[in-house]
Copies of this chain bind each other. A is one copy, B any other.
Amino acid sequence: MVFQIDINCDMGESFGEYSIGNDEEVIKHISSANVACGFHGGDPLVMRQTIRLAKSNNVAVGAHPGFPDLLGFGRRNMNLTREEARNYVTYQVGALRAFCEAEDVQLQHVKPHGALYNMAADNPDLARAIIESVKDFHPEPILMVLANSKMQKIAEEAGLKIAKEAFADRAYNTDGTLVSRKVPGAVISDVHQINDRVVKIVKESKTFSVDNKIVDLGKVETICVHGDNPEAAKIASSMGMALKTQGIIVRPIAEFV
């Protein structure tokens, strides 16, 4: 049996004079880039540069829309109406897609950022807003959703092409939800442990919960590497080698979803 997986990472979150992340290094070790769209991070110049960077590294490009909260980097919950959420996402994805076309790159996917991603995973109204926005585009990009979440179910019912995502460097609760970042131990930093987890997720669709129980995530198509981790490049590189050793092929989701 052949296993294949996509590795995605947030990219292009710099803004004007402000630089964040280590995109040039990390991009060598991933297959899909989630490019910020100017609301929580990113700006028009950074967007175009990041798409060019992805293209020259044969990395697929996705839109990474967030809350309109640059000051909070899109990580603070905001209470939007469904209509607001839908239109904010369409605006951002549309802007990003224009740069894709200008650079002759296909828009592969949409992955909501930060608090928008986390809230939508569990909030059907917000999930539907994002789904409506994805349907605003033709052809529809693939939507990345948290594996095993309410949003996954809703997106499947809506007939969307989705990629189920799991985190190799985040602790899970027994019910398959992510342990809050505020809880100590929520983020796993040991590279060996991350590598063991990613292989288990890909091959068995399973991971260990914080209390050491088996959590069934269902089939997972993409693994997130956190670009804001200063060790991101090292983690992604090591993960790539671990996967290769196990005969697992790393490639953009559009090639196998």
Spell out A's residues near B (CB within 8 Å).
15-20, 38, 41, 43-45, 47-48, 68-73, 75-80, 83-84, 87-88, 90-99, 101-102, 115, 136-138, 228
Contacts and interface: CB of A to CB of B under 8 A. Distances in A.
A44 B95 contact: no
Contacts of A87: 43-45, 47-48, 99
Contact of A38 (B45, B79, B91): B91
How many copies of this protein are present in the complex? 4
A61 to B, nearest CB: 14
6 contacts: A15-B70, A18-B18, A44-B87, A44-B90, A47-B87, A78-B78
B98 A91 contact: yes
A91 B102 CA distance: 11
A45 B86 CA distance: 9
Contact of A101 (B73, B76, B138): B138
Contacts of A97: 94, 98
